[in-house]
Structure formats: structure tokens, C-alpha cells
Structure 1
Amino acid sequence: MATGRPLTTRLADTLRNPLAVAALLTGLLVLGTAVLGPVIWGEAAETNDFTSLDQPASAEHLFGTDKLGRDILARVLVAARLSIGLAVAATAIGMVLGVLLGSVASMAGRRLSRFLAMMIGIAVAFPGLLLALFFAVIFGVGPRGAVLALGFAMAPGFARLTQTLAASVTSQDYVSAARTLGVSRVRILTRHVLPNLAEPLIVNGTVAAGSALLAFAGLSYLGLGVQSPAYDWGRMLSEGLNSIYTNPSAALGPALAIVISGLAFNFGGEFAAQVVGGRSRVHRAVPALAGPAAVAAAGGRPASDAGEGDAVVAADPERDPDAAVATATADADPGATDATDVTATADAVLSVRDLQVRIPTADGLIRPVRGVDLDLAPGEAVGVLGESGSGKSLTALAISRLTHDPVRVDAQRLRFDGLDLRGRLGAIERTRLGTSLSMVFQDPMSSLNPTMRAGDQLAEVATEHQGSSWRDARARAVERLRAVRMSAAERRSRQLPHELSGGMRQRVMIAMGLMGDPRLIIADEPTTALDVTVQQQVLEVIQSTRERTGAALLLISHDISVVSSVCDRVLVMYAGRVVEDLPVADLERARHPYTRALVEAVPTMQTPRDERLSSIPGRPPDPAALPTGCPFAPRCPRADTTCTIEPPLVRHAAGAVACHHPVEETS
């Protein structure tokens, strides 16, 4: 989880913290004792002095002597190697087993994940020491058995931690985009999931090592750990407690050693986490939207397993009464069907019919997207306008197969570049989709993997789908960054997303789409978070990219000026439906009252300064409680009784408008 700064710089910054310095010194002291203890004090620890048997603390023997006259302090220092080594070994076993188990539980299929989660939950419910005693009986008495027992006892805790953390990471969009690209689960785990878990795992691992040290001492104290003639702090503690009334210092030495070493492990974990990481806090602060393959893989928002395998089927009137009404209306009006068939050209890059998005909830079925039809010709630029909540972004996600469970996407037709996106895609189809469909979102900071350098995220597209070597892919990534006018492209490619400005990150997202051969670019509010100057630059890059590659563009925005400057045609959405389809040049002469209201709400240079800006009264309808008739009727000045009872017919044709009383040219 490197931050992009040199290791020496991060180390120097960390050492400015007094607590970090104390942690480092304590850790070095304990580590040095474990390594050098037997070398320096080994002879003193094994020398019997029958003239000083079981002596209390003195200037010569700070913690006294044992029953054979051996110096207890020397034995404590010598036992550091075995005590710490066994605790670290047990922690390593527990971490490896736990991370593997938790990773499988988070990345496997639904049934296996549920089963593993259940088993992990049962194991975590048992006290750790009880599990350790149980496994100690299985593996036998002795250091090896105790290490395995502790390792297996610690594994459920690490598994639960890994599963919980991985669940939040696997739901992020850069992981979903990698899945869409067809990246293997092992690669997703090693490249995208585990690096984002490194810092909390390091901290918890070191804390667990301190706990393992205490637990191992407990096993040795009970006679299940280290056996005579070997000794560790637990065995020494047991021997010291037998003479606690005559020589209490004999137990004090190993007890202090356990406490100091435990603190060293805890402090050392914080120190290591600060040096190694520091990115997880940034990662948690901003929910990620898309990832290393987000643009090139149509990646952006979280893709569920349904995006990979569940079929997208046509609307079923029995499951959805609204679908039945729409179907009946279409059947009753052959003209609507004819218009649909005529408009759907054979060479369309994207052809969508009756796109439905359904979200089951405890209160019923919500339909935020209802019967969207869309065709994009090669090289055509189409804008999608509408207020927030009108279904624009969800339409793009549904088209790109990037929706969450339990969201279900249905369509009578959903074809992109000759691919039917309603069913499961094979490896060849996924590769084709990953290199021909690009997606750019409004917040590239959350659309990029925070632990991967910009150039690496671009290069992954080429290595996964174009068979390029890593060196060639990196060179291509730099070339693509130059193509989107990124200054100092070579240096920028080595930086992490948080080291780039907003405009630079947006250019990285666009460059990622150019790593393949895009046939369609979907840009969802790509300039919303940018200032006006950078916004214009990004729009110019998108426009030049489209002209150079011949790709079609689907630009989603609520900003009419942005759509007008880039697009050829506009689809206006309201309450999950397309209410008007018209050329950009005809926006001022729009026929739907909602489109007219959107245009009038945009101030121009001719708008009087003392005149109150136009606005649309009311609020968009709740998708869970749509009105019976036209959803815009409560806000429409032209609405009448018919509008509140009967929904307007939605046609798919050039110049189509879904309104009972459209604005005529003469009005």
C-alpha cells in the first residue's frame, strides 16, 4: 500500500513522531535480544552454581537464581529467541490460514461464501484459548503441536477480519471493472483486494503476535508447550510461581519480558503500518466507484455476480404489472412498434429496447428505469439529460452490466457491437467487451484503485486482453497518456491517483479507454466536479478522442451547456423513462414541457440580472411511489385530468415525445 513517495521519505516522516521512535527502539531491543540473547548470555544461563540455589534478587543476580543456581535474568534473555520465535510462527500460520479462508469466503460463489461465513462465525464464537487447548490435544504436546494449535486457533479471527475487509473492497468499482474485464479471481485478489487490506492486516497481525506470545506462555505454563530441557518464558513463569513466596522475583522476570514484548509487537505494528501504508484512510474516506479497468472494461460502479453470470431477460408482465401495461399499450399501437423496428439499424453500435431496472425491497418492487429505448450509430454523440434521480446513470450501469445485487436488469434487446449482453459472456466476448466499451465517471479519484500507480492501471488492460508484455503495456500506457495531453506523462504514470489533480485523473480515465479500441464511450457526468477551465479541457479531450477513434459517445449530464457543446442528439429522461428524443439544435424548440423547463432554467448572457431565474416547481417523483398517469403531471403547467389518469405513450423515433399535450411550434 505504498503512497508513491520513496521509502526513505516515508520513514523520515514517520520518525518525526515520538511514539513511532519509541516503538522502533522497543522493537529493535526485543528483536536484538531474541537474536543475540543465546550468543551473549547462553553460557551464564546454563551454568549451575550449587552455592547459590534459589537465591532472591541481588546485585549479582537481578532476578535471583533458580533451583540449580542458574541466573534467571540470563535465562529470560536467552528464552526470548524461542518465546518470540514460536509466537511469530503461530501468528504467521494463523494469518496465512485466515487470509486464505477469508479471501475464499469473499471471492467464492454465493453458496460457498455463505457456508464458509457460517463456519467462520461458529469458530470465532469459541474463546481462542479454548480452541488452542482443543487443537493442542489433536497436535500433541510440545513446541510444534503448540505452534500449530495456536495457529489454527487464530485463523478464524483473521478469516473474519479478512472477509469483512475484503467484502468492502470487492464491492468497489475497480474490482467490479476487473471482473468485467475477465481478470481471474486470483489476480483480482492479489492485485486489487489484498493490497488494500495490507495495513489493517499488519496492525492486527502484530497485535495478534502479542496475544500469541501470552497464549503460548499459557500453554507452556500448563505443560502443553515447550518441554524440558528447553525453556521459554511460560515454562520459566511456571517454575517461578512455584517459589513465589520464597523468591517472587523469579516469576517477575519472565512476566516483565512477556509484557514488554507484547507492547513492542503492538507499537511495531503501528510503526510498520505508517511506513508501509497510510493509504487505507484515504481509501475508506472516499467510496470507490471504478477501478483499474474501469474505462476499458466499461467498469465504473460495482458489478455483482449477476453482471457476470445471471441472464438479462425480457420483461415479464406476470412479474411486473407496469410491464404488462406497457406491453399492452405497444400491442394496441402498431405504430409504436413500427417506429422501434425502423429506428433500430443493423449497424448500430448500441441497440437497447425496453430496458427495465428493478430493485426488490421489503416494501415492494422499485423500478427506477422503465422501458428505455436507445440506438447509437458509429461515431454518433448522444446526450442524456435529466434531473438527479431520473435514471440516467442507472441506465448506463445497466447497459454496461455493472449493477449490484439484488438489482435485476431486463430488456427485450440489449446489444453492443454485435454482442448480446443479456446472457453470460464467454472469455472471447468478455475480452471484446473489455477493449471496446469505455466508461468515464465524474469522480476519477474514487474510480481508480488507490494502491496502484496510474500507469500500472492502464497497463493492466493491455496485459489482460491484448497479450502484451508488462514492459510493452507500460510503454503503451505512457503513449496513451500523451494522447490525452497529459503533461510529463512518463512521470505521471508512476504516480498514485491521490498525487494527481482532478483533471489529470479524468485524463487517466479517458486514456484507460484508449488502451483498447473503443467503439463506445459512456461518460457519466465527467465534468461535474471540475472547474470551468478543466471542464472545457476534458470535453475537448473526449471530443478529440471520439473523432480520432470513430467511437460513439453516450454523455450523461444534467448540464445542458455541456451536452449542447458535444452531442448531436439528446435523450431527455424523467422518472426512469425517455420523454423526448430530439437533435441538439432543436433544444430551444423542444416539445415536452419538461425539456422546455430544463432549457429555460439555464441562464444565458442575455438573462436580465434583476430577473428571477426560472425553476421547475415541485420535486421529481419517488420511484417507489410513481403516480398513475404522467409522472411529470404534478409539476406541469399543461397537465389536465387525462395526464393524471393515463400515462403518455412512449415512442422510440426521431423527434418522439411522451406527452399528452406537447408544446407546438406555434405556441
Structure 2
Amino acid sequence: MLRTPLGLGAAALTAAVLVLAVVAPMLWTDDANAVDTGNILAGASGEHWAGTDNLGRDILYRTLVATRLSVELAVAATAIAVLAGLVLGTAGFVLGRRSSRLVSATINIAVAFPGILLALFFAVIFGVGATGAVFAIGLAGAPVFGRLTQTLVAGVAARDFISAARIAGVGRLRILVRHVLPNIAEPLVVNATIGAGGALLSFAGLSFLGLGVQQPDYDWGRLLFDGVGSIYVNPAAALAPGAAVLLAGLAFNLLGESIAKALGVGVVGGIPALGPAPVSLAAEDAPVEPAGHDGTDLVLDVRDLEVTFPGARGPIRPVRGVSFGVRRGEAVGVVGESGSGKSLTALAVSRLVGEPGRVEASRLELLGHDLRARDSRAQRRLLGTSLTMVFQDPMTSFNPTRRMGGQLAEVARHHQGMDRRAALARAVDRLRAVRIGDPERRAHQYPHEFSGGMRQRAMIGMGLMGSPALIVADEPTTALDVTVQQQVLDLLATIRAADDVALVLISHDVTVVGEVCDRVLVMYAGRIVEDLPAADLAGSARHPYTRALVAAVPDMDTDLDQPLAVIPGRPVDPADVPPGCAYAARCPLATARCRAEDPPLESDGTGRRVACWHAGEPIAVEIADREEVEV
């Protein structure tokens, strides 16, 4: 910032104002208060550069001395605006969706009013004087900071490291203080600096109107009010305090703009200068006994899971009647195209679907504990220690403003009651367990100093701070090169084998799922359409969609002279699911019955489930030379 002429000039001007606010009262208070009845309302002269007031006091000295009170009041009003704005902007994050709607409506209404009206309104409530004006200007600026904070918080709250903290059972207030506020501090500081300039102008305006500082105290606005009365006799009496307001306001605004430009932070207006509820739906499919359920070693038991969001034309259900179970030590893969409901199913199981989404199920249990119950300390502890969520993007899995060791240690401190040193030692040990070299040094580094594969392994290490019984990995190898992908998958397999941990692996890569998992769930349009052993995925799949997914993956035997296999058409829009089988429009086996009746997910008695009226029937595929083959 200081390398640019504008930034250097703004910094110098702001520093001059602040220095003057400190030294001026110490040097010139006596001269400013000296009464000379023989020299009343004198014009500018060599003795009095800006003339005198109606008591013969030197206007220039009074303008210089008034710097302290003017700046102090502007800073106080800015502090009130920022604090009130933080409360308003973070209320929705801390209190929940319903409270957020009320706060948002309040902010929107307040922002719609001009700043001068709000300031005058609050000035009447708090009364005439400096104190009342401080609160009036501060509260008038709060809605703008509240809107800014609300927007910034919403952006950070969507990051994966916030979801990780929630899974770890960290309370909302602690997440706000430790994870959210540090990541929005820069734009808030920048806008507060600019807001101080606006507050300075606003305060001068209220004092000029007689609602601010009262005699015998004086600030620039009060001096400007007094000077206007003699402007035709001595124009300098109004010019001096007016120039001071202009220069100081300009200094704060230019400084904020320069900092914003240097940091690449957007700014909004600071303190203004004077101038349908979710609808519950029952499951359409009949309850299905999850495959492999024996009642003894079931880690995760999901029955009739539905996720509903409100939409313009009625409720949208991106997850519809999903039922499955995961046993201890078992690896279950979930595959399907984008938008099929894979990740949303994982978020629902982890209790990470926020308002306005609604999660419903006839059964949703982790280690026998009902996850449908109201949020409690015991449930947060269960999710924080027994369930590990590995997110898709490792870059957003950690708070960029905190060191890696501290982020891992937070889990142990929060759930296991360890002190800071013991928790950090545990974090170093977990980094070593996930094969991160030199873990002592790495624990003191920031996320950007880790490679993508290291961040993904560190994310797994965070989950191992407790004793997880279930790992939910949502596309854990996305954006990683092939070698690092294999390292991450090998690490998950090692953890699973060593501690008998259950694994739910969500992926687009059916080949990886077939190699890593014991069982595969194929999802389409929010439903499980096939549940089969991973060994049967490549050659014995019965649903046309499953076979199309497998055929679309090239291998070493793929004929390079022929076009690659594709699935015709586009996935179904969750807001417009057609009647009957959702895959019918893209299925070569579809009949009139498929378009009219939705097939239930039924077991064939061998541990496999499939939802298709034509399961297992051969499909004739037309290739480039117009020859038909069966697959």
C-alpha cells in the first residue's frame, strides 16, 4: 500500500490527523480557551489566522484542539456500529435459521432507510448531546455492517472446515469465534476504516444541527455551526473547521480504500454519512430391510431417508427413500452421476443439512444412537468422535488462518478433555499415523503449506483424533494425481483393516469403488436403484443404469477405433422428477409400465437389491457400424 502515491499520501494524512488529536490539546488548550473581549468576531489576521469567535477566542486554535474530541467521537460511533453489526450479522449463524430470517428482515428494513433519517431517529431517542449522538451515529451504521457481516459469514459457513468443526461437535459460538471471524476480519477492518470517515462527517452534521456536542465542549461540527453565523463578517470562521472535517474524512476514506486495494478486499458503504415453510412428505417406497442387517455389528442403519427443500413449485426431494446399512469393518461405495444425491445422503447422515433443508427417516442410527433426536452434547460427542467426514476439496477442509496442529488438537481438547500440550502431542501422533513426514514441524504450519495429498491425509488424521467407527469419504481423491489418489485409498484401507472401521466411499469412479469396497450402492435421481456386491459390479450388474455407468469407463481393452460409450440424455432435475421410473427416458429397455410405475427396491434373496421392471434383461447397443451387440 505504501508503495503507491495514493496509499502513501493517505497514510501520511491519517497519521497527521491522529498525531494532531494527541498533541493539540496538550499544546494549545489554553490558547484556544483564552477570552479576549476586546477582539470579538475579528477577521483573519497575522495574530489570529482564522479570526476570533463571539468571545474573542482564536478559531484556529479551537479547530486544532477540537481534533481530539471529533476523532474520539467518530471512533466510538464506528466501534458501536461494528459491534452492533457483528451481532446482527452473526445472529443467524449462532441462533439458527428461523432467527436468521427475523434478523435479515430487520437489517433489510433498516438498510432501506436513508442514514440521516436513522441518525435523527436515534438522536431523538437518546437525547441531545455527545453521548446520544455517538449512539445515534453508531446504530445508524449498524445495518450496513450487519449486511456485510451476514454476507461474509454466509460465505465462510459454506466451507468444509466449518462442516468438519460441526462434525467434531464444536458449538456454534466457538466456531464463530475460532473459525469464522478470523476469516472475515480483513474486509471488516477495511470497511470500519472507511466507516470512521463517514462517522466523522455524520457527527459533524449532527453537531452542526445542534443535536451533537453542546457548549462548553466543542467539536468541528459545533465550530462550524458557530462560524456560519458570522460567515459574512469572517468567512474563515466556517472555513477552518469545514476544512478540518474534509481533510480528516478524506484521510480515513482514502486509507481504507488503499488498504482494500492492497489486500484485494471489496468494500461497501460504511457508516452512512448524513447526506413457504418446509413441507413434510412421507416416503413413497415401502420400508426395506438394509442388506446385511443382522442386528449385532451394524454401525450405520438408515431407513427411508429423505431430504426435502422448499421450492417455487413445491417441495424438492433430492434424496427419496434411501435405505441401507453399514456393518463394522465393511466398505460400502456409493456411485452415480452428479446430482444423484450421493453427497447429500452423506451430509444428512452426518447431520450437516441445514435449514431450510429437512431430513426425515423412519430410522437413522449410528452405533445404535438415534440421530433424529434433538441436538445435544452427547450427540455432538458421538458425531465428533465416532464419525469421520473426509470432504471432497482438501483446500477448504481446514481453516486457512490456523495452524494444522491446533486444528487437529481442538478435537481432543473439546471431546477428550486434554490440555493444550497433550492435545498437540496427540495431533502430532495422528499426523504421523497418516504418513505425513516430519509431523512435529508440519503441525506448526498452515494449510497452504501442505500439498493437496497431505491436506487430505491430514483431514483423515483429524478424524482419527477420536476413535471413529465410521468414515464417510466424499470424493476423497478429487483433484489429486493418480499416485496420490492411490496413497489416500491405501491409507483408508489400512485404517479400516487395523481398527475394523466401517467406510462409506462416495465416488464417480466406479472402478475405484469396485476395487476398494465390499458392496456398492448405485444412486439415480435421489434413490438407490441397485445394491450389489462390488465383485459383481463389472460383470453381473442387473440395472440398466449400473451397466451403463460401468460401460462408460474405458479400460485397457477398449477399442480406440470406436466411439466411447456414453449414457444418452441428461440426469433428472430433482425439482421435476417424472412419474414412473426416473431413468425411463434414458433407458433402452423402458416400456409403458416403466413410465407409469416406479419400481420398488426389492431384494432377490441373495443380498442384492434392484429397482427395475426389467432387471437383468440384455440390452442391445447400436455401435458405429450399425451392428447390434448384447451387453
Please point out which of 572, 576, 584 is paired with 1:621: 572
Structure 1-normalised TM-score?
A: 0.83
Deviation at 1:190, TM superposition (A): 1.6
What does 1:2-17 align with in structure 2 at a 5 Å threshold?
14-17=1-4
**Take 2:128 and 2:318, find their aligned partners in 1: how far apart are those partners?**
63
**Matched residue SS, 1:522:** strand
Report the equivalent of 1:659. 612
1:547 aligns with 2:497: yes
Deviation digits for residues 26-53 of structure 1 (CA, Å, limit 9, x no counterpart)? 2111110101112233344344556755
State the one-letter code of the partner of 2:307.
V
What does 1:397-436 align with in structure 2 at a 5 Å threshold?
397-436=347-386
Please point out which of 554, 559, 568 is paired with 1:608: 559
Deviation at 1:381, TM superposition (A): 1.2
Q: For the Cα contact (< 8 Å) 1:199–1:280, is it kept in 2?
A: no
Q: For the Cα contact (< 8 Å) 1:340–1:651, is it kept in 2?
A: no
**Take 1:628 and 1:101, find their aligned partners in 2: how far apart are those partners?**
45
State the one-letter code of the partner of 1:596.
R
State the one-letter code of the partner of 2:561.
D
Q: For the Cα contact (< 8 Å) 2:409–2:426, is it kept in 1?
A: yes
**Matched residue SS, 1:364:** coil
Q: For the Cα contact (< 8 Å) 2:291–2:325, is it kept in 1?
A: no
Higher deviation after alignment, 163-172 or 200-209:
163-172
Q: What's the % identity of the aligned pairs? A: 58
Structure 1's unaligned 5+ residue stretches are 1-13, 282-304, 311-315, 331-336
Deviation digits for residues 399-452 of structure 1 (CA, Å, limit 9, x no counterpart)? 222223333322222211111112224312320121110111211223333333
Report the equivalent of 1:475. 425
Report the equivalent of 2:203. 216
**Take 1:160 and 1:389, find their aligned partners in 2: how far apart are those partners?**
32
Aligned residues, how many? 608
Deviation at 1:257, TM superposition (A): 0.7
Report the equivalent of 2:140. 153
Please point out which of 218, 222, 237 is paired with 2:224: 237
State the one-letter code of the partner of 1:380.
E
**Take 2:100 and 2:304, find their aligned partners in 1: how far apart are those partners?**
34
Deviation at 1:355, TM superposition (A): 2.2
**Matched residue SS, 2:476:** coil
Report the equivalent of 1:36. 23
**Take 1:226 and 1:240, find their aligned partners in 2: how far apart are those partners?**
15
Q: For the Cα contact (< 8 Å) 2:331–2:502, is it kept in 1?
A: yes
Q: For the Cα contact (< 8 Å) 2:336–2:508, is it kept in 1?
A: yes
Distance 1:280 1:382, change over 3 A: farther
**Matched residue SS, 1:438:** strand
**Take 1:444 and 1:404, find their aligned partners in 2: how far apart are those partners?**
22
**Take 2:376 and 2:130, find their aligned partners in 1: how far apart are those partners?**
51
Report the equivalent of 1:534. 484
Please point out which of 493, 509, 530 is paired with 1:580: 530
Deviation digits for residues 143-192 of structure 1 (CA, Å, limit 9, x no counterpart)? 33333333343334434443444344445554454444443333233223
**Take 1:183 and 1:587, find their aligned partners in 2: how far apart are those partners?**
39
Report the equivalent of 1:634. 585
Distance 1:163 1:340, change over 3 A: closer
**Take 1:412 and 1:388, find their aligned partners in 2: how far apart are those partners?**
26
**Matched residue SS, 1:624:** helix
Distance 1:634 1:468, change over 3 A: same
Please point out which of 442, 446, 467 is paired with 1:496: 446
Q: For the Cα contact (< 8 Å) 1:455–1:474, is it kept in 2?
A: yes
What does 1:267-416 align with in structure 2 at a 5 Å threshold?
267-270=254-257, 319-320=281-282, 323-324=283-284, 326-327=285-286, 340=290, 343-416=293-366
Q: For the Cα contact (< 8 Å) 1:459–1:473, is it kept in 2?
A: yes
**Take 2:611 and 2:97, find their aligned partners in 1: how far apart are those partners?**
42
Distance 1:605 1:341, change over 3 A: closer
State the one-letter code of the partner of 1:144.
T
Report the equivalent of 2:514. 564
Higher deviation after alignment, 375-384 or 535-544:
535-544
Deviation digits for residues 126-156 of structure 1 (CA, Å, limit 9, x no counterpart)? 4433443444444444333333333343334
**Take 1:558 and 1:350, find their aligned partners in 2: how far apart are those partners?**
22
**Take 1:183 and 1:168, find their aligned partners in 2: how far apart are those partners?**
19
Deviation at 1:101, TM superposition (A): 3.9
Deviation at 1:255, TM superposition (A): 0.8
State the one-letter code of the partner of 1:523.
A
Higher deviation after alignment, 77-86 or 465-474:
465-474
Report the equivalent of 2:623. none
State the one-letter code of the partner of 2:253.
N
Structure 2-normalised TM-score?
A: 0.87
Distance 1:421 1:279, change over 3 A: farther
Deviation at 1:272, TM superposition (A): 5.7
Deviation at 1:377, TM superposition (A): 1.5
